[in-house]
């Protein structure tokens, strides 16, 4: 039976807030009226919980740009000495993204009722990740929420820029791969069978390479379901292996060892590590807690294990640079600069400099990789399609020569 939450006034003039069980709103009102309560507000509590659960379980298409812009606007308002509730109300009116707008309104209501800001944010883990919530909690505790939010906005924008660079590097090869796959599919399934029929009617001997192409075409036409089944099976085996604990570590280790790609993956992971750690430390998060968080954002289990080992050594009184150096997973320049930052008391600034430097290196490496991939993909695509066309055209020329004799 649904539970209704209501606000009403008793016959004695006392305001009451409570819940009542009823089949529907009408029955709930009738029951309360019978008890001598005049209802001012009433709502279905079960539906409200279901809606909250739905909001919590989905990001609803909230982009990094939306979150960064909202964070920067909120930081600006707080810096102007506007109260948190009023700032959230203003930002809620400004935001256009529906899911984010709904979340901000809900968080504003929670804060208005006495809840902390970070607790409201934690209701929406798909929108505000653990780093975001932890930073806000530290900002609330230290009374520097406006400064923390500004750093969060800068951090979010930098992370988004880095992720965009990485995605752009994979977009071109993916588009080329899809294009080549579609072209080959059309040629093998539709074009080559028709040419085969022409060759058979002409009864001319076919060269070995043409026979191979026709054989592949016949197999794809007659046994396409086997091909799809094998592809699907290989994909599922790979996915299950990659999602397993051992397979995930092996995959991450393999990525780091790959030429070019491995270097870029390490650069991206180190950049995430240094920038996130700097942001957390600047926000007043203790070193051990910050290390617990950053190991989950590097995106590579090998580096995450190295960070976890370093965290354990730090808890025993050791510096951060030495365990990172011993792991062998971080470039010497990184551990050297971290060591200098620890000695000079400028660790946060040094970490930011490392991250900026590595972001630039990622951009350079990706630009170089893209410049190499473009001609390589074009040559490969031209070579594959050209071979197939050559295999078809040679018999066609022979048929033409026979016709002219």
75: its two tokens = 């930081």
pLDDT at site 46: 55
Identify the CATH number of the domain defined by range 158-405. 1.20.81.30
61-157 against 158-405: fold identical = yes
Going by C-beta distance under 8 Å and a sequence separation of 6 or more, which residues neighbour residue 359? 158, 161, 162, 271
- Local structure of 123: helix, strand or coil: coil
Helix 192-202 vs helix 347-404: crossing angle, to nearest 10: 20
Task: Tell me: pLDDT of 13 over 60.
Answer: yes
Calculate the alpha carbon distances from 301 to 222, 260, 269 in Å: 43, 19, 10
pLDDT at site 138: 83
170: its two tokens = 């994979």
- The residue extents of the domains of the chain are 3-53, 61-157, 158-405
Domain 3-53 CATH assignment equals 3.30.310: no
Half-sphere exposure of 256 (CA within 13 A, CB side): 22
pLDDT at site 230: 94
Instruction: Please tell me the class of the 61-157 domain.
Output: mainly alpha
pLDDT digits (tens, 9 = 90+) for 285-300: 888 888 888 887 788 8
Pairing between β-strand 15-21 and β-strand 37-44 as defined by DSSP bridges: unpaired
- Mean pLDDT across the stretch 170-182? 83
Residue with tokens 């957390």: 280
Put simply, whether the predicted model's pTM sits higher than 0.85 gets the answer no
332: left (phi over 0), alpha (psi -120 to 50) or beta: alpha
**15-21 β-sheet, strand order:** 15-21, 3-10, 37-44
pLDDT at site 340: 92
309: its two tokens = 């080992």
Say how many C-beta atoms besides its own lie within 10 A of residue 49's C-beta: 11
pLDDT band at 56 (very low <50, low <70, confident <90, very high): very low
């Amino acid at each position: 039976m649904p539970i209704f939450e209501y606000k009403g006034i008793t016959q004695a003039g006392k305001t009451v807030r409570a819940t009542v069980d009823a089949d529907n709103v009408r029955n709930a009102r009738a029951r309360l009226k019978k008890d001598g309560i005049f209802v001012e507000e009433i709502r279905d509590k079960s539906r409200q919980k279901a809606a909250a659960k739905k909001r919590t379980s989905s990001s609803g298409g909230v982009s990094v740009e939306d979150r960064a812009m909202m964070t920067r606007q909120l930081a600006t308002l707080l810096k102007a000495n506007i109260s948190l509730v009023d700032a959230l109300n203003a930002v809620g009116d400004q935001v256009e993204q529906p899911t984010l707008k709904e979340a901000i309104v809900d968080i504003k209501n929670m804060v208005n009722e006495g809840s902390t800001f970070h607790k409201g944010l934690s209701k929406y883990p798909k929108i505000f990740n653990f780093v975001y919530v932890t930073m806000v909690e530290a900002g609330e505790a230290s009374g520097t929420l406006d400064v923390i939010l500004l750093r969060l906005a800068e951090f979010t924008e930098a992370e988004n820029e880095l992720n965009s660079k990485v995605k752009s590097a994979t977009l071109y090869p993916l588009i080329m791969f899809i294009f080549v796959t579609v072209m080959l599919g059309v040629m093998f399934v539709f074009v080559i069978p028709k040419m085969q029929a022409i060759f058979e009617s002409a009864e001319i001997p076919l060269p070995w390479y043409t026979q191979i192409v026709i054989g592949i075409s016949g197999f794809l036409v007659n046994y396409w379901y086997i091909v799809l089944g094998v592809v699907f099976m290989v994909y599922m085996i790979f996915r299950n292996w990659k999602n397993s604990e051992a397979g995930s570590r092996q995959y991450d280790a393999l990525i780091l060892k790959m030429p070019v790609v491995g270097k870029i993956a390490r650069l991206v992971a180190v950049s995430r590590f240094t920038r996130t750690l700097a942001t957390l430390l600047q926000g007043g998060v203790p070193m051990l807690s910050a290390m617990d968080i950053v190991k989950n954002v590097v995106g590579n289990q090998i580096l995450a294990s190295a960070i976890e080992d370093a965290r354990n050594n730090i808890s025993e009184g050791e510096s951060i640079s030495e365990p990172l150096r011993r792991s062998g997973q971080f470039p010497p320049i990184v551990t050297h600069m971290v060591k200098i930052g620890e000695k000079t008391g400028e660790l946060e600034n040094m970490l930011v400099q490392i991250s900026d430097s590595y972001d630039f290196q990622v951009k350079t490496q990706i630009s170089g990789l893209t410049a190499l991939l473009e001609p390589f993909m074009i040559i490969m695509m031209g070579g594959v399609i050209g071979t197939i066309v050559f295999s078809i055209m040679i018999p066609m020329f022979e048929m033409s020569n026979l016709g002219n004799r």
